[in-house]
Amino acid sequence: MNARVVAIAALAAFLFGLVVATFSETRVFLPALLQGALVTIQVAVFSFLLMMASAFVAGAGKLSAIGPVRWIAIGYIEIFRGTSLLVQLFWFYFVMPEFGVTLPAMVAGVLGVGLNFGAYGAEIVRGAITAVPRGQLEAATALNMAPFKRLVRIVIPQAAIVMIPPMGNLTIEMVKATSVVSAVTLVDITYASVQQNQIHYRTIEIFMVTLALYYCFSQLIRFSMGMLEERASRHLARGH
């Protein structure tokens, strides 16, 4: 049933795109917008990878028994959640060079978005790991599993099911947040639409296309996360 919804949505999106692309007015600004969309997708994909990595490291770090590891994780989470994403982007791009670290715009943008959302993701990871019943850990210990094997085979598969829905929402938030990367001189779809609007003055058409593209991105993530969730919980016992 899910596959049918996706197929219909894809067909509708294709037809919509065909209609938009054939209007002579959109032909003027559409190439620039799509070029911007490519930058947005690039930033989103790399930020997603960084977000997942830092979420897992910081989330597990916050549960660590070793004091300093825990403090560093808590410090990272609080600082990156407390200050604004835009402030962090500025910091990476304009302040770091004064300390001798010059980053390309793309790297600064990915670092800012990825680390900011990684801090939110860390709380999700931490919550999911603590949601695994204690008995599971005790049983694994009783079966003489090594700590690493216990983590990979017992804890993570169970935590993943709890993690997927909130991580999906966070990913949607992250894709939306990539719209601010123009602050570090990247020409993403948002900035491209501002530029095109200043040239062509077709506010409604340009921004409707941009909003529709973002909306498609978020719906795509929602669908794929739904399918991932189904896949991850397939082996679970039913009826309770």
Partner 1 sequence: MDWDWQFTFDVVLPRLLPVVPITIQATVLSFLLALALGLGLMLLRTSSSRLVSIPAGEVIEFIRGTPLLVQLFFLFFLLPEVGIVLPPLTTGILGLGIYNSALCAEVFRAGILAVPAGQWEAAKALNLSAYRTYRDIIIPQSLPPIVPALGNYLIGIFKETPLLSFLAVAELMHASKLIGSEYYRFTEAVTIAGAFFLIMSLVAAGLVRLAEFYVRKRILH
Residues contributing to the site for partner 1 (CB under 8 A): 78-79, 81-88, 90-91, 94-95, 98-99, 172, 176-180, 183, 190, 193-194, 197, 203-204, 207, 210-211, 214-215, 218-219
Buried b (16+ CB within 10 A) or exposed e, 167-195: bbebbbebbebbbbbbbbebbbbbbbbeb
Q: Cα separation of 138 and 142, whole Å?
A: 6
Give the nearest distance from C-beta 66 to partner 1 in angstroms: 25
Q: Which of 125, 37, 34, 146 is nearest to 73 (CA)?
A: 125
Q: Using the minimum distance from each CB to partner 1, give the nearer residue, 21 or 79.
A: 79
Give the nearest distance from C-beta 203 to partner 1 in angstroms: 4
Give the nearest distance from C-beta 102 to partner 1 in angstroms: 13
Q: Using the minimum distance from each CB to partner 1, give the nearer residue, 145 or 216.
A: 216
Give the nearest distance from C-beta 115 to partner 1 in angstroms: 13
Q: Using the minimum distance from each CB to partner 1, give the nearer residue, 164 or 180.
A: 180
Q: Where are the alpha helices (DSSP H) in the chain?
A: 2-22, 24-62, 67-82, 85-90, 105-131, 134-142, 147-150, 156-177, 189-200, 203-232
Q: Using the minimum distance from each CB to partner 1, give the nearer residue, 24 or 98.
A: 98
Q: Using the minimum distance from each CB to partner 1, give the nearer residue, 26 or 158.
A: 26
Q: Using the minimum distance from each CB to partner 1, give the nearer residue, 46 or 92.
A: 92
CA distances to 19, 136, 153 from 127, rounded to whole Å, are: 45, 16, 18
Give the nearest distance from C-beta 137 to partner 1 in angstroms: 30
CA dihedral 149, 150, 151, 155 (to 10 degrees): 140
For residue 210, give both structure tokens: 């941009």
Give the nearest distance from C-beta 212 to partner 1 in angstroms: 8
Amino acid at 78: E
Phi, psi of 54 (to 5 degrees): -70, -30
